[in-house]
Chains A and B, each alone.
Chain A
């Protein structure tokens, strides 16, 4: 079995999609909360005109959390003509619905409303936009924010999704879809690495969207000449590019701050307000990743490669022995029912 196949197995072990069985409870909860939110908004005089999933579930970069926590990232859109002047008003409605539906600690944060559903290990983030024409504005402000802080802030939620899914750049030429898939696998690998390697307090500040954007901007697809993906090499090259990509700003005291701008409106720094401790740890650990990946690349033994990668990614990355046990025991059939081909004679 190739190391690439082991990466694929790792990816299969950590990936999570909205359609997965494991996500069923969260999905059902999301759907029932959505219905309640729609009703509450309608009653408040600003009916929901559009709703969509945001975040990693939308971009197919979600991973399973080690403790089986699940996230819901839901966006609600109301018509600008009906929207209240005060953006926090709509967030209060959200908060109220969540509290009534059994969520605890519902909080109005600057960009969203968050809450946890304890019995399901479910975390929910809800954002509200108002829409005029094709333009979205995000409801920004906390419950007690002053008027100077509260605003309907221009935003491009779908632009970000499009940016993540974009494959028009030259790096995607030839087997475009395979390269985009490789990019998304790398995002998942790095998110799992973050979950494995950072203490809880820092882990929460190494934002998924930050990892996703850096990887997108620095992605170095690697398929061999036959078109076979080489995730190990691609991850190594991409991490190396991130480290030299200008995201980490050295400070005079030897620490680092990390700065990654959103690639779409409002183009804010994703890590705005992030501490030097976070930036430094992020920098140091990324350098360790690069060293380990180089070591794995130089290693010829599959067993040793697996051992190195398990140090980075945790136990969901199989050992070489796991691979041997599974090998030949089953035929791995395509998950596609059919595929259009260009073959003729």
Chain B
């Protein structure tokens, strides 16, 4: 294979030579990159399922290069060139020669960029600071969890992991400030405060104005540390010396934070150990006796965790009521919480039942608990900054008790058109300006709908209820895919136990659609009232001789936001 590759690359003008490297077949490629003679080495593999890696030989002679991490294989220093995230490239494993050539071109191209443009190289070094820091950390070591929301100079306790805990939040060292906003019901809070963790020492958080690129090796860490401390502004250094670092201890965690590029913030840490208790070393003459170990951190704050999860911190202060915590409402609530909405208020008078298990998101443990309360527990358990509340009340009681305009959005997922229309009339009669999002599904998997009614814009919920036959206010939504006045209820145990037949996929689909719309609205991306539907298959409905509407057969705009206004709506035409 190495000969084949060498010959193939040679045919394309590369100066190649097959060889061996500690018993493994390699192909060395000699080339010139930005005026520098450079040698790249490909280690031959049986098959390439990711981009073949060319190692840069003698990497140190080029200075500190971004995207090149220096490692030693036995005593030979090599540079690992980070061309792409492995999953971001789909490789042609059927044509390995093509793949190798393509990879070589990518390696040379990247190296040309970092070697020819020092400014870009410096920026990239900062961007990848944390990646480089991780190379210095001991592999397999669990990161230090840090629960800071603000990058300010401070000192906090570090808690030891629970003994013999191999997984879960209690298996980490945690640096936890006393003023954390983490929910009292969250696992993080529980694992620290309720399980009597021992305090292992102090962590000092040091914000950096200037970030020096990460050292190439552990030998250079002490030098990097002293340089970094030296560059601190006097005020911060004095504060460290006089207040935060005067505590004499054998262990110190120093958590650094700095802006890298494009306003991205990075966090990383050093652990300082000494056989004797001493104050935090802040100069070269105090460093003797301290062992400096780079450690990785896992930032456990809203900004980081919410955004990493695809959420938005801009939603943190939004207040959303979710009325109806059934299969759709529970999913909507969950998705809103996942998106970063902290202040959710769940309203539902029902209790969680065994019948609900297969199309609801609450686990069995919540059976016989009010659904709204269960959702609060669930949100707090999964989303550490949740501030969810609940009321075991119906929509009508809710209307009487709460000022509706307190909320930025009221999601109504009760599947009861009478109450939904009544609630809309209540808002109209009392001139209450609040945005509502009504969502419901229909039986037999034929689809679901959501109506966003933004006060003051064209269209309202009642537009979705204009009876197309006569232009009057109808009792049945004109969005529906199932014709009115059919027997759509199923019953296993007779009266009082009737239900509409649909699966969890239908309720989840409806909820995801409604949640997306809600999030768009809360983020300010949806300024007009609108309606959205998704359309499923009609097999189950046909099997039950359920008649479907013209809209169902014609509908081709699943998940598209459509204007809500109906020109015959008596409210909107006033």
Contacts and interface: CB of A to CB of B under 8 A. Distances in A.
Interface of A: 1-2, 4-5, 8, 12, 173-179, 181, 223, 225-229, 327-328, 330-336, 338-345
Contact of B443 (A177, A339, A344): A344
Given A175-B551, A331-B570, A335-B472, 18 more contacts: A8-B470, A175-B549, A176-B483, A225-B554, A225-B555, A227-B549, A328-B573, A330-B570, A332-B473, A336-B475, A340-B484, A340-B485, A340-B487, A341-B477, A344-B326, A344-B442, A345-B327, A345-B328
A181 B470 CA distance: 11
Contact of A334 (B441, B467, B481, B488): B467
B187 to A, nearest CB: 29
Most B CB atoms within 10 A — which of A178, A331, A344? Answer: A344
Given A176-B483, A178-B469, A340-B488, A345 B550 contact: no
B550 A340 contact: no
Interface residues of B, number: 59
A342 B473 contact: no
B413 interface: yes
Nearest to A324: B573
A42 B470 CA distance: 46
A225 B500 CA distance: 26
B574 interface: yes
Given A332-B472, A335-B472, A342-B500, A177 B416 contact: no
Contact of B550 (A179, A328, A344): A179
Contacts of B546: 342
Contacts of A229: 468-469
Contacts of A173: 553
Nearest to B511: A345
A336 B549 CA distance: 19
Contact of B567 (A1, A176, A328): A1
A2 B470 CA distance: 11
A345 B553 contact: no
Given A228-B468, A332-B471, A341 B484 contact: yes
B440 A334 contact: no
B486 interface: yes
Nearest to B483: A175
Top 8 A-B pairs ranked by shortest CB distance?
A345-B415, A175-B550, A342-B482, A174-B550, A227-B551, A332-B472, A344-B415, A174-B553
Nearest to B439: A345
A186 to B, nearest CB: 14
B326 to A, nearest CB: 5
A344 B485 CA distance: 15
Contacts of B439: 345
A255 B500 CA distance: 61
Contacts of B469: 8, 178, 181, 229
Given A228-B468, A344-B440, A344-B443, A339 B476 contact: yes
Contacts of A1: 471, 567-568, 573
A227 B470 contact: no
A227 B464 CA distance: 12
A181 B475 CA distance: 18
A341 B327 CA distance: 18
B146 to A, nearest CB: 41
Given A173-B553, A342-B480, A342-B500, A2 B567 contact: yes
26 contacts: A1-B568, A2-B568, A8-B470, A12-B470, A173-B553, A174-B548, A175-B550, A178-B469, A223-B554, A227-B468, A227-B478, A228-B478, A228-B566, A328-B574, A331-B473, A332-B473, A332-B570, A339-B484, A339-B485, A340-B476, A340-B486, A341-B477, A341-B484, A344-B415, A344-B440, A345-B326
Nearest to A185: B469
Contact of B440 (A175, A335, A343): A343
A342 B442 contact: yes
Contacts of B570: 328, 330-332
Contacts of B478: 226-228
Contacts of A338: 475
Contacts of A179: 550
B486 A333 contact: no
A343 B414 CA distance: 9
A333 B571 CA distance: 12
B14 interface: no
A176 B482 CA distance: 11
Interface string B534-567: 0000000000001111111111110000000011
Given A181-B469, A333-B473, A335-B472, A343 B480 contact: yes
A345 B414 contact: yes
Contacts of B329: 345
A125 B485 CA distance: 36
Nearest to B471: A5
- Most chain B Cβ neighbours within 10 Å, of A1, A175, A176, A177: A175
A175 to B, nearest CB: 4
Contacts of A336: 475
Contacts of A340: 476, 484-488
B551 to A, nearest CB: 4
